[in-house]
Amino acid sequence: MKHRLFLFDLDDTLLDFKASEQLSFVRTMGELGLQGDLEPLFQQYQAINLALWRAFEAGSVSKEVLKVERFRRTFVGNGLDLDPAKASSLYLESLSETVVLVDGAHALCESLAACGEVGIITNGVHHIQHRRIASSGLKGHISFVATSEACGHAKPDSRFFEFSARMARARPFARHETVIVGDRLDADILGANRFGIDSCWFNPGGLANDSLALPSCEVRALDQVVPALRQLALAA
């Protein structure tokens, strides 16, 4: 295998964020006194949250605003007299306690850490991501965690990838020995394209690529990553 630095997106690549998100949302609403069927409310929250994250990645909203605004808009849209700041605090606290691993995540990180260096690059909230990694059991295989919050720029901005590369132990940094594994074309794969490194698109749903991002390889499950990278090395 030619790669020695393996950069991983965290949410929905190594950790099943969708599962954690729903568990944390339901727990948060319960602590605020809201009971019953929360699925319609959760779906509205998800749509609002996604739009705000896209705005954050475009640089038009700050993460501090995002964390509260997603709940404020959800509550206002449903006529709920609930405190969005309190909801945000409860939700973020719960996220670090509701960690769900994607199948194969631990074995993959263990395997790649044995032949190189594994780093996490994430746009998620800095201190929450560190706590989630600690709860996941992956920490022992991870060399560093780069967050957009610490960098000041978010994926797919090349400045975030430069920031991440500086955190790696190996010197000098070699682009041709670096690969990112991630589920998002618009952040992970496009960012890799702009930075000039290989990329592996984790696409468990078998989605069509109708974007400008060009992954070096594509997998449907994490246990396919190592074989795909080996094949990529042979084709180089």
Q: Which residues are catalytic, by number?
A: 9
C-alpha pair distances (Å), 227 with each of 63, 112, 113: 37, 12, 16
8 Å CB contact between 149 and 64: no
Contacts of 67 (CB under 8 A, 6+ apart): 88, 92, 125
d(CA 88, CA 104): 31
Beta-bridge partner residues of 7 = 119, 180
8 Å CB contact between 154 and 186: no
* E strand intervals along the chain: 5-8, 117-122, 144-147, 178-182, 198-202, 217-219
d(CA 131, CA 94): 11
